[in-house]
Structures are given as C-alpha cells and as structure tokens.
Structure 1
Amino acid sequence: MARTNAQDRLRRMDLLGAELKQEGHCTVRDLARAHGVSTRTIARDLALMREQGLPIDADRGRGGGVRMDRRWGVGRMNLSYPEAVDLLISIAVAERMESPLFLANLGSVRRQLVASFSPEKRDRVNRLKSRVVIGVTASTYVQAGVSAPPKRVVQALHQAFVDQEVLEIRYRREDGAVSERRIEPHYLLLKYPVWYVVAVDHLRQAPRTFRCDRMIAASRTGDPFRLLPKPAFRSAMEGDDLAL
C-alpha cells in the first residue's frame, strides 16, 4: 500500500507541475478538488516540489494562488525542444487517426508536453500542427509498394519543413524516371501508411505532391519561403484537407 501511495503521489506531483505551468495561476483548493485529495495533501506536495527545485510561487492571504515560472523546462523527461515538438505532433497524428489502442493516456502526455512550452513556442507548435494533414488510408495497391525513405532524406525534409526552407531533392517517379527538383515543403499529408510532401514545385511553378519514400536524396538550401494557405493546394491534396 505504501508503494502505491508513493507512486500516486509522484504521479500527482508530475500533473501538478504541468497544470501550474499551463494554467499560470490556480488555488490550492482548486488543485485539491481536481485531484480528489485534501488541501493539506496538496500543500505537502507543493512543499516537496519546491524542495526539489521547482520554481513555485504562492500569493499569501485568502484567495491566494500558486503558479510556476513558465520558462521552466520539460523537467524530468529530459527532452529537447525539437524532440518534444516531434512527440507532440506524433501524438496529434495518432489521436486524429483514432486508433483504438494505446490512446488512453495520450491526452495527459499531450497536456504535459504543451505545459512545458513557453506561450511563444506553444503558438509555433500549433502552427506546425496545422501544416500536418490527415487524408484517407492509402489503397492496398499503394501500400504494397511503400518503403522507408533514407534517414538523411527524412532529416533534411523534417528540418526544411519546420524552418520553411526550400529543399532540393532527387525524385523517382512511379515509372522509374529520376529528376532533380527544388520544392517548398508547405504541408505534410499522411494517407496511412504513406507520407507525402505537399509543395510548390519550382520546376513546374505549381503545387505538387511528392511521396516521401520516392525521394532518393534531399538537401537544404537555406532559402526561405512564405507559407501559402491550404486552399492553394486543395487540388494537390485531392480534397483530403483535414488539418490536425
């Protein structure tokens, strides 16, 4: 029983830290009600969290509240900001796909991740999420030909997408022909299990969709591009315009 109580307390303290950072200001009574424990228990938890070095401030007097410095990092998870962003977007993709397995705790994980960001970084993550689109599941014919793209291609594409940077690629079409392209990776489209880049193709001077697993090579150019709204790519996405 003692071990269970200790585990419950550790879990509650993790959630308290996330809530204090996300909400900015709340009372001990509100926290006690939300977690189903006494105000004395919450006060002890907060005292222990302060001893562990968490920057928790409290307002004295009736109606006073507690808060945590929003600049405080991810904490015990030890995730870098790019890692946390990747995980958060992956969680959003999983939730939108409505898989029946392993989704029970994703909401809690997502809230803790969001709470670890400053307001400015939170806005940036939301903008990135809006650029990831979920479409219909790929046909069995398409799925039969899917392969994993090279790791270097994935890394270059990932960074160019995040930084809104023009990407140079070598692309192999379905008929086997290979071409050199300069593309602007505006959106990513998932037709499970196939990922596509929805881009402006400089060769055609028009929106095009490229399968990620057909990219043989990719390199960043350092040239920025201005993001265009999704309606400009509606035909390229074939109507599967379902943003996260």
Structure 2
Amino acid sequence: MKVVICIKPVLGKYVDGTREGKTYKMNPYDMFALETILKKRKECGFNFQIVCISMASYSAINVLRQARSMGSDEVILINDPSFSGSDTYATSYILAKAIKKIGDVNFVICGEKTVDGETGQVFWQLTERLNYIGIKGVVEIQQIDNYSIKVVTIEGDKRKTIKCNYPLSISFLGYQPYTELINLRTMRKAMGERIEVLDAKTLDIELSKCGNIGSKTRVLKTKNLFSKREQKIIQGNLEKKVEFIMKSIYQNKEKYEK
C-alpha cells in the first residue's frame, strides 16, 4: 500500500518569526499530517509506504530531508522553471500529474492549509483532478488496512466517524510547528541521500496549464498593511514630551482617522 503526502515549504517568518534570510520550514499543517500518519503506522503495526512530495525550489530541499528523517520512505521534489508563478489551480494540476506518475497510490494526504496562503484550495482541486473521494477535517485515524481507512472528523460542532474505501484524499485538521520524530542518526542519513526530482518533461506537463500562463488567478494590486515601526526617544521634561506627542498626533491626524 502507498500513501502520498503533499508538503509545502514556507518561509521561516511564517512559522517562528525568523526575520532574516530565506530559511524554509515545513508548513505546520503539513507537519501535523505527516507526524500523525507516521505515528499511526508505528502504532498499528501495519506497514505501508509513505511518500512525501513537494513542489518547490531547490533552496527548500531541506524540508524534504526533514520529512525523510522523520520517517517517510521516499521524498520527491517537483521542480521546473515553468512551474514558477503557479496558483492553486495550476499547482493542483502539477501535483496530480506527479501522483499519477508515482502510481498505485491508495490515498493522498494534505494539511488543512498553508500559513503563507491560508486558502486551503489545493486539497479539493487535487481531489477532483484525481477523481478521488475527499474527506476534510480529519483529526484522528482509528483504523487502516489494505482496503479502507476509518477516520474521525470535526466540522463546526459536529464530530463524525467515517469509513471509506480507497482511493481517497484526506485533509487533516491540526497545526504543529515542531516535531520530535527527528534524531541525529536519521538526520545524518537523510542528508546523505539523493532526492529524486521530477520536472515538466518527466511528468508530461502541458506548459499552457502551469506557471503564470496556466493560472486562473491574477494579482492586480498588492498593498502592505503593516508599516515598519520606528523607535524615537523624546528628550526634555514632561511638558516638552507632551508637546511633541500632541504635535505628532496632529501631523498624522488623517492617517489615524483611517
């Protein structure tokens, strides 16, 4: 049996507040999903293959090495210059192609959403492209075998237990920024392994369906809502300080009223 987990690397600033550089970390929603399925495999004693895939740049390859060191059996990087600028619609097309290329996949796992996008759209688009049954809001796997899976889901105030045959896609409801499944031995092993890369040619991708060309979303305008804070020390006695503050408020009156 084979399970594919979709993982997205995100900039560290979205996970732990890292401000400098472009350090990538595993999306916490995806980490929760990966750790849950790894622990369930160990707990139930039922052996199945876990493959992690990620559509990302080479600079984010450390995230796949982390997934390997956590216990996944195989990690695959999906990378091609033509994939740059893909929105969720184009991304789901590329991921579906990769999953079909891997072959014999019983079910696909996604995190609830990503911390840098918050849309949660890829799961349903991917499920539709694969023609799988989709189950969202999964918080627990109760049972798993060669033919079916039993999960617990939460949606609003409703808690359900669902049993479903393969093939299917499930989306986990949970957030986890760190993992305890990594140790020095597994990390060293992962660092020395070659990571498979799938490009557009290997996946038989139609270039008109990926990147900016294949994306349905058009960003017309962006605006930074949070201005940079600056520290200013006010010199003088209390009267001078009050005078400075009142003057600053008056000068920025229109900005504060907005």
TM-score bucket of the superposed structures, by smaller chain: under 0.3
Quick one: higher RCO (CA 8 Å, sep 6+), 1 or 2?
2
So what's the TM-score if we normalise by structure 2? 0.23
